[in-house]
A and B are shown apart, each in its own frame.
Chain A
Amino acid sequence: MPAGMLLATCDTPLAPDELTPGERRIFSALPSSGPRQRTWLTARRALRRALAASGRPADTSRYPMPNRAVSVSHTARLAVAAVLPSACAAVTGMGVDIELGRRPKPASARFFLSGPEQRWLAAVPAENQPDALLRLWTVKEAVFKADRANAVATLGDYEVAAPAGYRGHARRTRPPGSVRPAPGEPSPQETQFSYRTVALPRGFLSVAIALSPSWRTAPMQTVDFGQVAQRVSSLISVPVARLTPETKIAELVPDSFTFVEVAVDFQEEYDVVFDQEDLKALHTLGDLAALLDSRRADRDD
C-alpha cells in the first residue's frame, strides 16, 4: 500500500444546498424515495473531508467512479472515503468497502469466492465462518472497485492469494473477452491488486489498490510459499511435494509442542511476531505464508 493513503469517515449527510453544480447533477439523478440520497450525501461529505486533507480539489463530481485515486463506501449510517493524496504511477485504481452488522448468507459464498477460497473457508471453524465470509466480501468489493475495467466483472472474477490474510494480494482470474482496455491501460487479465483489511467492532473495512504492471516488476519483498514449504518440510520431516497452500496444519503436526516449535521457528526466521489470535486463525500452510507476508509487511512499514 502506498504510505499516505487518506481515509475519512462520516455519519452526517451534506445539505443538498452545499452541493456543487456537478454534484447536484448526479444527486438529481438518484431516486428520491428510500435511503439512497441520504447515503450518497453522507459518502460525499466523507469524500470531501478526505479530499480536503489530501489537498486535492474538493468538488467530488470531478472524480468519476471507479477512480484511479478515490473511492467511497457506506453502510446505512456510516460512510468512508479513501483518497490517494498525490499521483502514484504504481496505482491504477482505488477501492474501499465497509460492512457493519451484516452477514452474507453462507450459500452466497459460491457466487463471490473462488474454488480455493471456498475450500479455505470450509476449513475455518464453523463459528468463525460468518466473520471470514464478511471479511472476504469487503476485500472482494474493494478489489472490484479498484479495477477500473470492472464494467462486466463480478466479485467471483477476483481471487485473493491467501484468504486468511488481513493484508495481501489479489488478481483478476476471468478477464471478460468483450472488454478492451483503453490505450495505456493494463488489460484486465494483467491487473493485480494489493489490499488491507481492518477489523471493526461489528464488521470490516477493506482498502484495495490496483497495481500497474511496472510496479509489479519491483514489488515489495513477499514470502514465497515454496520457502515456507521447504522450511516446514525440514522441521517436521514431511516431503515437500506433499505440501500445498491448502495443506491443513493440524494434519501435519503430531502434537502441540511441534506446533509451537514451527510457529516460533518461523517467527525467528522471518523476524516477525505472532499472537494467540494469529495462531487460532492458522488452518493451512497458505494461511501461514499469508500471515508471514502480512507481518513482514507491517514490520517494514
Chain B
Amino acid sequence: MTLAENDRWLLSFYRSSEINGALFFGRIARTVSAGRLQSEVTHHFTDEANHAWYWTECLNDLDASPIKLREAYQDQYLQAIGLPANLMEVMAITQVFEKRVISQYRQHLRAPGLHQRVRQTIEKIMIDERWHVQYVRDALRDMEGKYGADRVAATLARFTAADEEIYAKTLAEYGERIGFLDPAAAQIAEAP
C-alpha cells in the first residue's frame, strides 16, 4: 500500500518527537541521582527510543520512508515556557506532554480508515505511555516535600495552560495534514 503523504508526514512527526524525547530523557537519565527515579527515567529513555524505532518500522512496513524532520512537538514547549529550571519542572513538563501524547494517539485510533499497522503501533506505544504518566505523577507527588505541594501544583497548571496554547497553535499550523483532529471530521467518523 502507498501511504498518503499527509499520513507519512504525521508518522514521521511522531517518530521525530519520540527521538527528541529519547535524546532529552537520555540527558536527564545521566543527571538524576541514584534511586528509583533514576531507574524509571532511564526506562523512560529506552521507551522513547523504542517508540521511535516502532514508527520507523511501521513506516517501512507501509513502504514509506520516514521524512527527516527536525522539529518536534516538545520544541514548542521550550519556546513557550522557557527551559525547565529543575528536576521537578522537567517531570511536570513530562507529565503534561505525556498526557497530550496519549490524547493525540487516542484521537488517532478513532480516525476513520486507520491502517491496522498504524493501529498496532499506537496501541503498543500506549501501554508505555500510560506507565509514563503514572510514574511521573508518583514522582511529582514524592517531590512535594522538597519543592512544596503548591509549587508543584502551580507549575503543572502553568505548563498545562501552555500546552493548550501550543496544541491549538499546532492544529492551526498542521491541521490540514491531520484531518482526523478536526472536530467536525471526528464527529462524522464517530457517527453510527
Q: Which residue numbers of A lie inside 8 Å of B, CB to CB?
A: 256-261, 263-265, 267-269, 273-276, 278-279
Contact = CB atoms under 8 A, between A and B. Distances in A.
Q: Which secondary structure dominates where chain B touches chain A?
A: helix
A260 B146 contact: no
A71 B106 CA distance: 66
A273 B31 contact: no
A164 to B, nearest CB: 16
Contact of A268 (B23, B31, B78, B84): B31
B87 A268 contact: yes
Interface of B: 23-24, 27-28, 30-33, 78, 82-90, 146-147
Nearest to B148: A273
A257 B30 CA distance: 12
A261 B23 CA distance: 11
11 contacts: A256-B83, A257-B24, A260-B28, A261-B27, A264-B87, A265-B30, A267-B86, A267-B87, A268-B31, A276-B83, A279-B85
B30 to A, nearest CB: 7
Given A258-B27, A276-B83, 4 more contacts: A257-B24, A264-B28, A264-B32, A273-B147
Contacts of A278: 85
A256 B78 contact: yes
Contact of B82 (A258, A273, A276): A276
Contacts of A273: 86, 88, 146-147
B87 A261 contact: no
A274 B32 contact: no
**Residue from A257, A259, A274 whose CB has the most chain B CB atoms within 10 Å:** A257
